[in-house]
Amino acid sequence: MVSSITSGSSKQRRRSTIQSFFIWLTLGLLIRWVLIEPRWIPSGSMLPTLQIRDRIMVEKLRVRLHQPLPLNSIVIFRPPLALIKMGYDPSAALIKRIVGRPGDEIEIKNGQFWRNGRLVEEPWSSVKINYSMSQITVPEGTVMAMGDNRNASLDSHLWGPLPMENIIGTAVWCYWPLTRFGPTQ
């Protein structure tokens, strides 16, 4: 009689443990899918702001709620059609900084970045841009996204405005290496 009570209690504990595991697993996956997820930096296009192999946290809720993204937000996104046509993996994720929103006039002249007829000071970039870009008005439903390392970045100056629906989220925190621990902006 004692063994059957113990056996029943053991089964209940095991069942409870399994249920708890699946609840926590579901909660963790839900948080990662909806709110925030870890990513790493594979290239130097965001130097010096983000280094190769930095680990960052990407906030995804603002994008899911269709909230406007401020200028200078660092965004993670799926490649636009122009890059996919050039052979980019459609499931890849890229990272750049929003430098223009719908209606903004963007231009690169004399090695400097201009928005709406005004020279833009970019404290994260001390290198003069070595290309020009004719003035473009950013269309509705898109943003201009450029790397901080402008001379070594495959970005909107080459493939055009980024459709908002391609944006996955915004980089909010660098968590590795610990010497760079802190906000990404």
Percentages helix, strand, coil for the chain (3-state, rounded to 5) are 30, 30, 40
Of the residues 96, 125, 153, 156, which is catalytic?
96
Catalytic residue flag (residue 4): no
Catalytic residue flag (residue 43): no
| DSSP alpha helix (H) spans, 35-155 | 61-64, 81-85
CA distance linking residue 119 with residue 101, whole number of Å: 16
- Residue 75 · residue 169 · CB < 8 Å: yes
Of the residues 45, 125, 153, 156, which is catalytic?
45
CA distance linking residue 46 with residue 86, whole number of Å: 21
Cα dihedral sign, 154-116-139-50: positive
Indicate the Cα dihedral angle 78, 80, 81, 85, nearest 10°.
-80
In the Cβ-directed half-sphere of 145, how many Cα atoms lie within 13 Å?
27
| Catalytic sites, residue numbers | 45, 96
